[in-house]
Structure 1
Amino acid sequence: MRLCVCLMLLSFMLCASAAEPLLVRGGRFAWDAAGGAWDMLKAYRDMREANYKDADKYFHARGNYDAAQRGPGGAWAAKVISDAREKWQSRVSGRGAEDTRADQEANEWGRNGGDPNRYRPAGLPSKY
């Protein structure tokens, strides 16, 4: 996860320096991106803590949803982190392309404002 956050920040610095002429808008974008990265980390921590069967798609959708609610910077951070995580995971987990596609579907659903509860498994504690 730390690698994802570092990649996101590096990518942001490169994009912001090339395409963001107004410091104020760039500052807001950066603030939202940092908050979005935090939302993604929180969803990841909750997923690990819950350790609940078939809940990972819910946490994917929830992290992306929460991040995107912050604005364009949060949505951007969610996409960068999700894409990096899936690229890495597809190489090391052995779960296959179908699982990666399903994860990305949940990521996009949440990032586009879809209700994460679509992926919520029955019995997942209400704490999450």
Structure 2
Amino acid sequence: MRLAVCLVLLSFILCADARILEAGRFVWDAAGGAWDMWRAYRDMREANYKNADKYFHARGNYDAAQRGPGGAWAAKVISDMRENWQSDVSGRGAEDTRADQEANAWGRGGGDPNRYRPQGLPSKY
């Protein structure tokens, strides 16, 4: 009987431990995903290349999502916030926002960001 109680308690502890580790991994991946999004934004600004924004949207989301659920979550939150701000403040319009979100979802879903790569963009990016 004592052995059974000990095994049940041990299984509860291990399950709780697994959930804590899983939550920690999610947070770690989310932080890494936020960094991936920042890096893509920084590269986009540095490149300053005509018609390259969709590529950088897709690339940032792709890189972040490759980290796992936390990275994908961070990419979605950041992309949605950026597009909401962009459509409200910059006045770029619904069509541009829709196209950006399409590129975001493509990258986050594992699609190759090069689908949006403009011809002539330096290979550095």
TM range (shorter): 0.7 to 0.9
Query: 2:62 aligned with 1:65, yes or no?
Result: yes
Equivalent-residue separation in structure 2 for 1:55 and 1:80 (angstroms): 21
TM-superposed CA distance for 1:40, in Å, is 0.1
Secondary structure at 1:57 match in 2 = helix
- 1:8-66 deviations in whole A, cap 9, x for unaligned? xxxxxxxxxxxxx9211000000000000000000000000000000000000000000
Partner of 2:43: 46
Query: TM-score normalised to the size of structure 1?
Result: 0.83
TM-superposed CA distance for 1:111, in Å, is 0.1
Partner of 2:73: 76
Partner of 1:28: 25
- The structure with more radius of gyration: 2
The AA in structure 1 aligned to 2:64 is A
- Aligned residue-pair number: 108
Equivalent-residue separation in structure 2 for 1:78 and 1:55 (angstroms): 18
Secondary structure at 1:95 match in 2 = coil
Aligned-pair identity in percent equals 85
Equivalent-residue separation in structure 1 for 2:92 and 2:23 (angstroms): 38
TM-superposed CA distance for 1:94, in Å, is 1.5
Query: TM-score normalised to the size of structure 2?
Result: 0.85
Secondary structure at 1:22 match in 2 = helix
